A and B are shown apart, each in its own frame.
Chain A
Amino acid sequence: MIQMYNMSKVYSNGVRALDNLSIEIERGDFVFLIGSSGAGKSTFLKMIFREELPTEGHVIIDGRNIERLSDSKVPYLRRNIGVVFQDFKLLKSKTVYENVAFAMRVIGMKGSIVDRQTKNVLDMVGLLHKARMYPEQISGGEQQRVCIARALVNDPGILLTDEPTGNLDPDISKDIMNMLKKINLRGTTVIMATHDKNIVDTMRERVVVLKEGRIIKDTERGLYSYEVNE
């Protein structure tokens, strides 16, 4: 379970990206995070895997207060969280296969398991046939899917995705959403920041609306809408 209490984030340049925000997300929830550009969606996700620390308030994951987590424990928190980054963060010098396998290798997994699991997730995102290509040799949408594969390869309990369908054509984004739903049904908490109205409206999951760093709306089976009063 993810809990945030009266949490604010002020960046060093003085921007208040999140403002006194409280929320609880149960294990196994599927949450869409929507809001206009600059509303604080990416920052919200960064608070969960402790890329940023809260300026005020608390972030608690599975009962552990993560701002009190010692530096040496942070890696173990992150192993349970898969992240699909808005800017992909793929390594240009590594192939698709290596980019995914890398995430397993660096947490000390054995070669044979790495190989099996890497092929498994690449197959899941439909990119096994491009495993040997480099990120620059594949399309933006494909890069995004590599990023999803990497986030899933360690079988995380929490999956954070920052606009994972932004560059995907409708067919593929439907496939990706089906895949995410399947993973969610297996018990993984999925939090997805998105601008994609279509997807949100078809999925009918919990929708959290952010505006200037505050939660202005939180609906159980919501629709894509910024308005406070529908």
Chain B
Amino acid sequence: MKLMNDLNYYIKEAFVSFFRGGLMSFTSITTITISLAIFGMILIFSMNLKEFAGILESQVDVTIYLVEDYSEDKLQELKDFIIDIPEIQSSVFVSKAEALEKLRKELNEEDFLLNALETNPLPDSIELKIKSSLSVHDIIKKLRSKFLIIDDIFYGQEIVEKVNRFTQVLRIMGTILVVLLGLASMFIVSNTIKLTVYARREEIEIMKLVGATNSFIRWPFIFEGILQGAFGGVMAIIIIMITYPQIIDNLKSMLPFMPFVSRKADLFLLYGKLLFSGVFLGVIGSLISVRKFLDV
């Protein structure tokens, strides 16, 4: 009962002060909104890259292209070697004729392109399925050094690594940007609260003199920070809710292979993160100025 009564007081005071704050509250919220919207966009971008990498990674298939001329013995040697590797789940030999047939099927209507060819340009190949993507590197290295009949080896992992490296760089830059934006937001929140504290210094003095506890004096200011943070968070969420589907629409035709993330669960998690970050910024911002300027 007592707690509810106090809580009621804190929240009411916070709202009053928030609206009295007017322009400052508005500036504070705008900064938080911009910071969080950028933070959200970065999260979405890396979420999509991760999804993309995941799809590539799930295709850990390795294709070994063979040289033009080789002896059956050498091929058998390679096949035997492959069978002995425990990490390899299965292997299938695909002749150049079969490969051409497969390509024809994939192209279906447009196979006139192939009809123009006089000879089959595709090499023979062996398609491997590997149990775990971790061992792929070693296997490929071994194969390359041992067998001269191997012309080239193609595997999705390579691209995955490139994407991962890119994601890494993006994450570092994103973190730096987000930290800077976060600090700026905190600074502005704390500044807003500082002004509120200043505007209400008489009231605070009297509160102290009649025996209000320090925490009782602090809470309304902390709630005000929370209010600003939550408000900013909600605005950022709205911005992303509106812009993200449009971005997907515009990019889908340009990047048809890109699997844009639009699962509800993922997006809700993202919104949760943004709201939480907003509240966090608000709390820290107000704590800073309450500690520094309230002197209670």
Interface residues, chain A, CB within 8 Å of chain B? 49, 51, 71-72, 75-81, 83, 85, 89, 91, 102-103, 105-111, 150, 154
> Is the CB–CB distance between B210 and A154 below 8 Å?
yes
In the complex, B246 has a CB within 8 A of chain A? no
User: Chain B interface residue count: which class?
Assistant: 10 to 19
Kindly state whether residue B183 has any CB partner on chain A within 8 Å. Answer: no
B209 touches A (CB below 8 Å): yes
Residues of A within 8 A of B95 (CB): none
A184 to chain B, nearest CB (A): 21
Decide yes or no whether B198 CB sits under 8 A from chain A: no
Q: How far is the CA of A91 from the CA of B202 in the complex (A)?
A: 7
Q: A106 and B210: CB pair below 8 A?
A: yes
Residue of B whose beta carbon sits closest to that of A91: B203
Beyond A72-B214, A76-B211, list 13 extra A-B contacts (CB 8 Å). Answer: A51-B209, A77-B211, A79-B211, A89-B209, A91-B203, A102-B206, A102-B210, A103-B210, A106-B207, A107-B210, A107-B211, A107-B213, A108-B216
Indicate if B1 sits at the interface (CB-CB under 8 A). Answer: yes
A108 contacts B6, C-beta separation under 8 Å: yes
In the complex where A91-B203, A105-B9, A110-B5 touch, is A78 in contact with B214 (Cβ < 8 A)? no
Which residues of A sit under 8 angstroms from B142, Cβ to Cβ? none
Separation in Å of the B211 CB from the closest CB of chain A?
4
User: Is B264's CB within 8 Å of the partner chain A?
Assistant: no
A75 to B217, CA, bound (A): 11
How far is A199 from B212 in the complex, measured between Cα atoms in Å?
A: 33
B68 beta carbon closer than 8 Å to chain A:
no
Contacts of B1 in A (CB 8 A): 110
| Chain A neighbourhood of B266, CB < 8 A | none
Q: Are B212 and A89 in contact (CB under 8 A)?
A: no
Contacts of A49 in B (CB 8 A): 209
Q: In the complex, are the beta carbons of A71 and B214 less than 8 A apart?
A: yes
Is B211 touching A78 in the complex (CB atoms < 8 A)? yes
**Do A111 and B207 have beta carbons less than 8 Å apart?**
no
11 residue pairs of the A-B complex, CB under 8 angstroms, read A49-B209, A79-B211, A89-B202, A89-B206, A91-B202, A105-B9, A106-B210, A108-B9, A108-B216, A154-B210, A154-B211
B208-248 vs A, Cβ < 8 Å mask (1 yes, 0 no): 11111110110000000000000000000000000000000
The minimal Cβ–Cβ distance linking A159 to chain B, given in whole angstroms, is 13
Shortest B94–chain A CB gap in Å is 79
Cβ of B141 under 8 Å from chain A: no
Is there a chain A Cβ closer than 8 Å to B2's Cβ? yes
Tell me the bound Cα distance from A85 to B206 in angstroms: 11
